[in-house]
Amino acid sequence: MEIRKVGMVGLGTMGAGIAQLCIQSGFETVGREMTPEFAERGHAQISRFLARNVEKGRMTAEERDTALGRLTLTTELEDLAGCDIVIEAIVEQLGPKRDLFAALDGILDADAILATNTSALSVTEIAAATKRPGRVVGLHFFNPAPVLPLVEVVRGQLTDEAVAQQVYAFAKAIGKDPIVCHDTPGFVVNRVLIPVLNDAVRVLDEARVTPEDLDKGCRYGLGWPLGPCALIDLIGVDVQVHASEALYEGFREPRMAAPSRLVNMVNAGLLGRKSGEGFFRYDEQGNRVD
């Protein structure tokens, strides 16, 4: 089976970016959202990103129009019938993802592949909602998907070897630089990153270092492009806490549990860049103001 037509469920932050990669790379893509308004919002995000590519000389206006011509929008799941792979980027909750995969299982051809962009849920548990767990795989992009080269191809407990290889080749075909791993909490990158960021937050209190100096230490001493406090602000303090909880549930290692300092910040509404304040303060455009 060759992948020619892609289905994208959810055209939010991640889904719009992934759909953009697919149409830019020559794949007919059907984008499904819950309402026409959400679909239009996703389309607008894609158009904006592609317009920027034209401005920067990365593509011509004609190439942009051809790419946009490959995208169709729908609110009906049934319109995904005939897709060779469907990628899911809906809300990060097991129930809705399992419901979606069970429904898609009944709509798609028997050899179609189902991929989930989940960050922290078990690919194996999502796959178990279908009668084709061998054809279910994790395809974990990083934000912003059109920009960051990495994709984790995550093999669930029952994922067929051939499917993992095909999805790896597909990730390359849409311009990514994939790595392959098995389905464990946090996969590879978040498994390493989340506890390290939690360690950094604990060091703030232990060493009584300021967020500015901790970030400076990691940037100049470790060569990090961004210090841990600025990075948590960028990721979202709530997202870091949520990811920590998922990892802690999986491994029960104390350093994976969210530091109380972060939990307190979430309770106070200090979520980082998106709320205007986290460890640092930001203006409306997300630029640091202190």
Ligand X SMILES: NC(=O)c1ccc[n+]([C@@H]2O[C@H](COP(=O)([O-])OP(=O)(O)OC[C@H]3O[C@@H](n4cnc5c(N)ncnc54)[C@H](O)[C@@H]3O)[C@@H](O)[C@H]2O)c1
Q: Which residues lie near ligand X (CB under 6 A)?
A: 10-15, 33-34, 38, 89-92, 96, 100, 117-119, 141-143
Query: Residue 114 Cβ, how far from ligand X at the closest point, in Å?
Result: 14
Which CB, 189 or 209, lies closer to ligand X? 189
Annotated catalytic residue 152: yes
- CB 235, min distance to ligand X, A: 7
Of the listed 33, 53, 140, 244, which one is catalytic? 140
Q: Which is nearer to ligand X, 66 or 184 (CB)?
A: 184
The nearest distance, CB 81 to ligand X, in angstroms, is 17
Place of tokens 């979520």: 271
Task: Report which residue type is found at 57.
Answer: G
99 three-state secondary structure: helix
Q: Are 270 and 233 in contact (CB under 8 A)?
A: no
Residue 118 or 240: the one with the smaller Cβ distance to ligand X is: 118
* Active-site entry in 119, 122, 198, 244: 119
DSSP structure class, residue 226? S
CB 46 within 8 A of CB 55: no
Which residue(s) pair with 113 in the sheet?
85
Residue entry with tokens 């809300």: 91
User: Is residue 143 among the annotated active site residues?
Assistant: no
What token pair was written down for 69? 């011509």
Nearer to ligand X, 8 or 50 (CB): 8
The question of whether 43 is a catalytic residue gets the answer: no
Query: Cβ-closest residue to ligand X?
Result: 12
Q: How far apart are CA 198 and CA 128, in angstroms?
A: 32
Torsional sign, CA 74, 78, 79, 80:
positive
> Active-site residue among 152, 198, 244, 277?
152
Annotated catalytic residues are 119, 140, 152, 190
